[in-house]
């Protein structure tokens, strides 16, 4: 029996690790630890060496703040190699009264197909995009309805098993188990999308350290996502290369370019040139994102929401210098808010996501072991 007072959510980013412990009796009461470190999360060149020592320090600090031993966490992380798999599955029956169990059977069948076809991948999220009952589409599961043909459109978000095992092993060294892995960008955008649920098309762009996540929501439901191998650190590298200075100084210039007082005392570099470098790369990220989505749906009437540390340069009058065909809204998030999105995904009611329950030692029915249909 778990008698701990806190649930801990740890966001493992490429440039920062942040952990928040939420009091189980009062989610507004929390303890936050954060620290900067560089990790390479691309599975082909995975490097967690700098994070190893830092993770131990964060665990110790969390235990001191919570005044209890930390034995498990919810881990929020983005894999640059995240895989999205769309699958439609259907079943024809004699006319039946549709129940939750019929849907569970169908989703379990789909899950087994994915596991068989993608043996090197771990399923992180299963999202229901659409129900079709006797050729009629439903956004949410209908109740008390007769059904002959049931079809479900599903989106699976998967990480490479090697990547998952490496992350799990890192925490296992310090006797901490990962209760559940959450795709961080997905957790953020599902939560933020509640603010825009009346919008028909919402596009979220999360500009991170060395990647950009793009999510398309149609009428409140996740329709598509893509990870681009380009992010805020590429702007830093551009400044470093063009001005022929080291990356530490380049990062400092990038973060302070809109502060007049800073440049009055650091005037050896052209402010206009730095602005041009930053705007060019930012425009490129936004244009690549929009072109990707324009192949799927018209984005003329879409709402663009930008988040992430790499997007903080848009939180100023500099946004006026960005030449982009659509209006951009910025969500200025902090570490606590990011961890809260993980809490919201786990504890909230998400009628589009299947909650995957870990196997237990006790004998249970087949579908009880795998599914609690909605969170």
Supply the pLDDT for residue 373: 56
Mean pLDDT within 50-56? 91
Question: Among the listed ranges 249-258, 282-291, 330-339, which one has the minimum average pLDDT value?
Answer: 249-258
DSSP strand pairing (353-356 vs 121-133): antiparallel
User: In angstroms, rounded to a whole number, what is the distance separating the alpha carbons of residues 338 and 317?
Assistant: 25
Supply the pLDDT for residue 267: 58
Quick: pLDDT tens for 74-124. Answer: 999 999 899 999 999 998 888 888 888 888 889 999 999 999 999 999 999
- H or E stretch covering 62: helix 49-66
Mean pLDDT within 167-176? 96
Supply the pLDDT for residue 349: 67
Rounded to a whole number of angstroms, the distance between the first and last alpha carbons of the chain is: 21
Q: What are the structure tokens assigned to 175, written together?
A: 């006797």
Domains of the chain (ranges plus CATH)? 6-80+163-183 (3.30.420.40), 83-159+345-372 (3.30.1490.110), 197-333 (3.30.420.40)
| Contacts by 322-326, CB closer than 8 A, 24 or more apart | 322/279, 322/282, 322/283, 322/286, 323/279, 323/283, 324/283, 324/286, 324/287, 324/290, 325/290, 326/290, 326/299, 326/300, 326/302
User: In angstroms, rounded to a whole number, what is the distance separating the alpha carbons of residues 126 and 124?
Assistant: 7
> CA torsion, points 94, 95, 100, 102, in degrees to nearest 10?
10
pLDDT at residue 363 above 60? Answer: no
pLDDT at residue 365 above 50? Answer: no
Summary mean pLDDT of the chain:
85
pLDDT at residue 35 above 80? Answer: yes
Q: Which pTM does this prediction carry?
A: 0.86
Coil/strand/helix, residue 265: helix
Percentage of residues in the chain with pLDDT exceeding 90?
Answer: 44
Q: What are phi and psi of 144, to 5 degrees?
A: 50, 55
368 and 347 Cβ atoms separated by less than 8 Å: no
pLDDT at residue 73 above 90? Answer: yes
Closest to 322 (Cα-Cα) out of 267, 348, 351, 284: 284
Q: What are the structure tokens assigned to 181, written together?
A: 């892995």
Q: What are phi and psi of 179, to 5 degrees?
A: -65, -40
């Amino acid at each position: 029996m778990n008698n701990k007072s806190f649930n801990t959510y740890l966001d493992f980013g490429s440039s920062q690790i942040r952990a928040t412990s939420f009091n189980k009796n009062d989610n507004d009461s929390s303890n936050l630890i954060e620290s900067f470190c560089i990790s390479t999360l691309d599975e082909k060149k995975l490097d967690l060496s700098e994070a190893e020592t830092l993770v131990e320090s964060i665990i110790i600090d969390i235990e001191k703040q919570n005044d209890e031993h930390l034995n498990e966490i919810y881990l929020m992380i983005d894999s640059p190699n995240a895989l999205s798999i769309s699958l439609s599955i259907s079943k024809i029956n004699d006319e039946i009264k549709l129940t939750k169990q019929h849907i569970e059977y169908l989703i379990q069948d789909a899950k087994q197909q994915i596991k068989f076809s993608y043996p090197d991948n771990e399923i992180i999220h299963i999202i229901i995009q659409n129900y079709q009952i006797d050729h009629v589409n439903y956004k949410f599961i209908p109740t008390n309805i007769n059904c002959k043909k049931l079809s479900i459109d599903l989106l699976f978000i998967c990480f490479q098993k090697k990547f998952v095992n490496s992350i799990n092993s890192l925490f296992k060294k310090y006797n901490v188990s990962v209760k559940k892995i959450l795709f961080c960008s997905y957790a953020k955008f599902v939560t933020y999308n509640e603010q825009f649920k009346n919008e028909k098309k919402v596009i979220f762009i999360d500009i991170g350290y060395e990647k950009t996540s793009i999510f398309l929501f149609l009428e409140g439901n996740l329709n598509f996502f893509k990870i681009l191998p380009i992010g805020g650190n590429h702007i830093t590298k551009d400044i470093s290369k063009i001005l022929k200075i080291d990356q530490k100084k380049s990062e400092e210039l990038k973060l302070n370019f809109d502060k007049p007082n800073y440049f009055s005392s650091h005037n050896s570099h052209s402010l206009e040139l730095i602005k041009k470098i930053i705007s060019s790369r930012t425009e490129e990220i936004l244009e690549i994102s929009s072109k990707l989505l324009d192949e799927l749906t018209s984005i003329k009437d879409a709402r663009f929401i930008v988040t992430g540390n790499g997007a903080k340069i848009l939180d100023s009058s500099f946004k006026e210098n960005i030449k982009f065909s659509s209006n951009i809204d910025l969500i200025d998030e902090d570490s606590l808010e990011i961890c809260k999105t993980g809490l919201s995904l786990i504890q909230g009611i998400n009628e589009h996501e299947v909650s995957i329950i870990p196997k237990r030692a006790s004998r249970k029915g087949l579908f009880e072991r795998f599914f609690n249909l909605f969170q």
